[in-house]
A and B are shown apart, each in its own frame.
Chain A
Amino acid sequence: MIEVMTANYAAAYAVKLARVGVIAAYPITPQSSISEKLAEMYVKGELHGKYFLVESEHSAMSMLIGASYAGARTFTATSSHGLALMHEMLFWAVGARRPIVMAVVARALAPPWNIWGDHMDVMSERDTGWMQFFCENNQETLDTILMAYKISENRSVMLPSMVIEDGFILSHTYEAVDIPDQDEVDDFLPPFDPEWKIDFNDPRRFGGLTMPDWWSEFRYRIALDQEVARKKIVEVDKEFERKFGRSYGGLVEFYNCDDAEVALVLAGSAVGTAKEVSDKMRERGKKVGVVKLKTFRPFPAEELKKLNDMVPVVGVFDRSYTFGYGGALYSEVRNGIYDPAGGALVKNYVGGMGGKDFTPKNMEFIFEDLLRIKKEGKVDKMVEWINIKDGTGRW
């Protein structure tokens, strides 16, 4: 059934279809309409599970960890400061190996106060051990939540997932979304059946004090299981495509890259803009490719390495910044594709932060800049901030 809706509503429909058992909700812009839609569904008796109002994002995540230990499938959604407040419990969810799925409606962190979209919040949680999936559009948001449960709850993975949709750009923008049938989703996503949960007949202690002699081994297991997840993500994407006819490339999607002269790596809603600009530029004979980073953790370094054989110059577009260095995607991509024998030149573009429009014109600037670098054979500067009021009038 196709309906026109925002990514936030699409997320709520995914939660309903996934038959989530326990939902913990706390409002924050631009996430709130997910919580509101779920509340409405709950009151109407449309949800499989229970819906709880908590007093903070910290408690939302805490509650879900408890519910997941009891054996329930769990969901919450947050943004920005809410995600930052959860930070402690994000580590806890990973260490406890609870396959919670959370929608993160990516937004800037204050001050100055700003409710609009960028990736600062999600990039700051890179090292928690959560899997991180970016979404390009509303359909992808719904589909990714369904896939995320399947990946997270796999007994060889047992790690939580963040499904990231860009604040306002997706969260509050209406698009046509195909809502799959419940039967089809049930067939794709079986009930949560964890190997270990609270059992009065087999009492255990979960996550108790562990001395230095074994603590690293538990961390090593998480590292290895992220590697398992890498394979499962691709498998689940393929299975999803077989069932529902849609695929998102699993880890990475290469678009217009086969004969490209330069390529731009990016994540989230800006991918759509990049694809469109790439198409248009190709009509004018400018062969520019787009690399959509679907999955940020686990990071698809091997897949991205192919870029060295495809193009001599790679751009990386960041909607966030690691102060004192560069964009987070940039440093990951550059490190990931590093080839001691040479490899592609890499330049970082930073923009679209705090909700600033990132326009096709801005995108075209990046592609033109990459083509220039290709011609000149060297990168002029490591990082370029896009569309900054720098007095040059070039924007």
Chain B
Amino acid sequence: MVEAPKTYKDLPSTPITFFTTEDNKTGTWRTIRPVIDKEKCTRCYICWKFCPDLSIEVEKEGDYPNVDYDHCKGCGICANECPSNAITMEKEMEK
């Protein structure tokens, strides 16, 4: 595990990165959430293909897609593109 720099002394000579952005939980941006109806889903993976946020996950061919709500920004492309209308966008619960 790489440690994040704590002071200027820890900085490398060249400004390089240390981590990926996966800890950045962009799911907090969302106001509407996609919900997949597996009854209607034909596993065409169009939602997976068009998800800009890599938040539609399919483990392997044949599996149903799942939504990663930690990162899904709720753009709604998946619901708009789904040819079977298997995805609906639902309002996030008010806090």
A positions within 8 Å CB-CB of B: 95-97, 155-156, 158, 194-196, 204-208, 210, 214, 217-218, 220-221, 224-225
Contact = CB atoms under 8 A, between A and B. Distances in A.
Nearest to A154: B13
A207 B8 contact: no
Q: Interface centre among A155, A156, A214, by most B CB within 10 Å? A: A214
Interface residues of B, number: 10
Nearest to A69: B14
A204 B17 contact: yes
B16 A204 contact: yes
B35 interface: no
B70 to A, nearest CB: 22
B62 interface: no
B17 A208 contact: yes
A129 to B, nearest CB: 13
Contact of A195 (B7, B8, B13, B17): B13
Contact of A95 (B7, B15, B17): B15
B13 A206 contact: no
Contacts, number: 44
A46 to B, nearest CB: 32
B14 A206 contact: yes
Interface string B25-40: 0000000000000000
B14 A97 contact: yes
A156 B14 CA distance: 11
Interface in B66-94: none
A194 B14 CA distance: 10
Nearest to A225: B13
11 contacts: A96-B15, A97-B15, A158-B14, A205-B16, A205-B17, A206-B15, A206-B16, A207-B14, A217-B5, A217-B7, A218-B11
B13 A158 contact: yes
Contacts of A195: 12-14
Q: Interface centre among A156, A221, A224, by most B CB within 10 Å? A: A221
B17 A221 contact: no
Contacts of B17: 204-205, 208
A366 B72 CA distance: 73
Nearest to A203: B17
Contact of A196 (B5, B8, B13): B13
Contacts of B14: 96-97, 158, 194-196, 206-207
Given A95-B15, A156-B13, 16 more contacts: A96-B15, A158-B13, A194-B14, A195-B14, A196-B13, A196-B16, A210-B15, A217-B7, A217-B8, A217-B11, A218-B11, A218-B15, A220-B8, A221-B8, A221-B11, A224-B8
Contacts of B13: 97, 155-156, 158, 195-196, 221, 225
A159 to B, nearest CB: 9
Contacts of A97: 13-15
Q: A-B pairs with the 9 shortest C-beta distances?
A: A217-B8, A196-B14, A204-B16, A205-B17, A158-B13, A97-B14, A220-B8, A207-B15, A97-B13
Nearest to A221: B11
Nearest to B7: A217
Contacts of B11: 217-218, 221
Contacts of B16: 196, 204-206
Contacts of A207: 14-15
A217 B68 CA distance: 36
Interface in B1-21: 5, 7-8, 11-17
Contacts of A96: 14-15
Nearest to A210: B15
Q: Interface centre among A95, A194, A210, A217, by most B CB within 10 Å? A: A217
Contacts of A95: 15
A217 B7 CA distance: 8
Q: Interface centre among B5, B14, B17, by most A CB within 10 Å? A: B14
A120 B71 CA distance: 53
Contacts of A196: 12-14, 16
